[in-house]
Homo-oligomer: A and B are copies of this chain.
Amino acid sequence: MTMQPTVERWGLFDLACTAVAEGNPFDVRFGATFRYQHRAVQVSGFCDGSGVYRVRFMPDTEGLWSYETFCDLAGLNGVTGEFRCTPPSAGNRGPVAVAERYHFRYADGSPYYQIGTTCYAWAHQGEALEQQTLRTLATAPFNKMRMCVFPKHYRYNANEPEFYPFERQTDGSFDWTRFEPAFWRHFEGRVADLQALGIEADLILFHPYDRWGFSEMPPEADERYLRYAVARLASYRNVWWSFANEYDLMRTKSMADWDRFFRLVQAQDPYQRLRSIHNCRGFYDHAQPWVTHQSIQHRAPENTVQWREQYGKPVVIDETQYEGNIPESWGSLTPEMMVSRFWEGAVRGGYVGHGETYLDAADELWWSKGGVLRGQSAPRLHFLAQVLARGPQRGYDPVAGGLRSGFAAASKGQDLYLVYCSHQQPGLLQGVLPDDADFAVEVLDTWNMTCEARPGTVSGQFQLPLPTRPWMAALLTRVEAP
């Protein structure tokens, strides 16, 4: 038995105990109740193989916490201890949650402007490529990664993974009742690597791209898997749950199955991590109470306002096709279009995701395996992130009807307006601002990544000369009265 005397706020406390069980050690009920003053949080543990049982916990409050284990095995029952929760270290802003109905915020109150990317199977590619992916991410603009728990079988994805989530039997089949700790230790290591880079891990729990049977397990195996995943992973503060990628392509799962999975995780997860499910064609009913935000596949982020109104939750367009040059139309966006779709979502109060699919002789496409970025959108998404980082604190919401030229979003107090002209090239930007205030003007070229402050201010009905080219935007900032 080991224990840590201190753990930082939103960090991970890990308690490991050893015991020998008769029968299947993964059937042993093990967990702990964590207490802080009057609060008690009951948390499930998991078997980590070789007689090791672990329970993990993310404390959200600084101070002295105590715990007491519960277990079917008498030797692991009633183990008690304490740890002190210390202030978060630099860069630890806590988990992300929904805020202001349509937006996200870190637990420390700072806004989370999502610039997501997708490398579905990056954690199943072996050490060399995975380290390369992490090096790429270290200088990329992304603060969310969509990634599959299960390995992936698809076009450009023929390689076998090093690890499997279940014990493989001599006939090649898997024992759905026994997990393979090596797989999970490796996988959670990747989640921790992302956390160290400040990147949220949107974990895709099921997907249809499969040759091993993980997409067609019996119901009891699905549930056992979900419980295990939650027990192992939920305590990482950067974890989000994505119940499926393209759920509607999984023929053996019904809508009732998805409802059940959501509710199971909702009941099991002590931290209520973000929960979503991603479509191919038709949407799951994002209005269900267990869905925290919309995870959308659609080529037109221009619909963001409609989706916000329809479901009343944050709109995350996790897939709006990818920058690349593969034959498939979903993977041959120009970098200009990839960037533009981010902006189209942003000025409507939504959040868009990136992916890259450039043909590669070794089939190392970023969208699936990670590796290196070959495209031109990423630096422009960094520029967008910088613009968004200038505010507003509570997120941009769409301005009804836009301005006259270009769509626009504004901060809630109308202190900031962000106008985007997309593929249009107005030589003159026109619009109507509040006429009781003056606004400073910055003209942004979202492709060339320039920001030009214009002299003077505008107010009420205004017009603003723009260069005749596409991808222009403007940031209008209320000037405080002197």
Contact = CB atoms under 8 A, between A and B. Distances in A.
A405 B334 contact: no
A303 interface: no
A373 interface: no
A423 B468 contact: no
B334 A428 contact: no
A425 B327 contact: no
A264 interface: no
A468 B405 CA distance: 31
A281 interface: no
A325 B427 contact: yes
Interface string A446-464: 0000000000000000010
A333 to B, nearest CB: 7
Contact of A333 (B327, B332, B424, B463): B424
Interface in A299-343: 324-329, 332-334, 337
A357 to B, nearest CB: 10
Contacts of A123: none
A111 interface: no
A428 to B, nearest CB: 5
Contacts of A333: 423-425
Given A423-B337, A425-B333, A404 B359 contact: no
B468 A425 contact: no
Given A332-B424, A334-B423, A327 B359 contact: no
B359 A428 contact: yes
A406 B325 CA distance: 12
B332 A404 contact: no
B423 A325 contact: no
Contacts of A328: 404-405, 426
A414 interface: no
A277 interface: no
A421 B333 CA distance: 10
B326 A426 contact: yes
B428 A329 contact: no
Given A326-B427, A427-B325, A470 B405 contact: no
Size category, A interface = 20 to 34
A149 interface: no
Contact of A426 (B327, B406, B425, B468): B327
A404 B334 contact: no
Interface in A403-425: 404-406, 421, 423-425
A324 B328 CA distance: 32
A470 B334 contact: yes
Contacts of A468: 325, 358
A430 interface: yes
A308 to B, nearest CB: 21
Contacts of A337: 423
Contacts of A358: 427, 468
A429 interface: yes
A340 to B, nearest CB: 10
B329 A405 contact: yes
Interface string A202-245: 00000000000000000000000000000000000000000000
Nearest to A337: B423
26 contacts: A324-B425, A325-B427, A326-B428, A327-B405, A327-B426, A327-B427, A327-B428, A327-B429, A327-B430, A327-B463, A328-B405, A328-B426, A332-B405, A332-B421, A332-B424, A333-B423, A333-B425, A334-B423, A334-B424, A334-B425, A334-B470, A337-B423, A358-B427, A358-B468, A359-B427, A359-B428
3 A-B pairs with the lowest CB-CB distances in the bound complex, closest first: A325-B427, A332-B424, A327-B430
Interface of A: 324-329, 332-334, 337, 358-359, 404-406, 421, 423-430, 463, 468-470
Given A327-B404, A327-B463, A328-B426, 15 more contacts: A325-B425, A325-B428, A325-B468, A326-B427, A327-B405, A327-B427, A329-B426, A332-B405, A332-B427, A333-B423, A334-B424, A334-B469, A337-B423, A359-B427, A359-B428
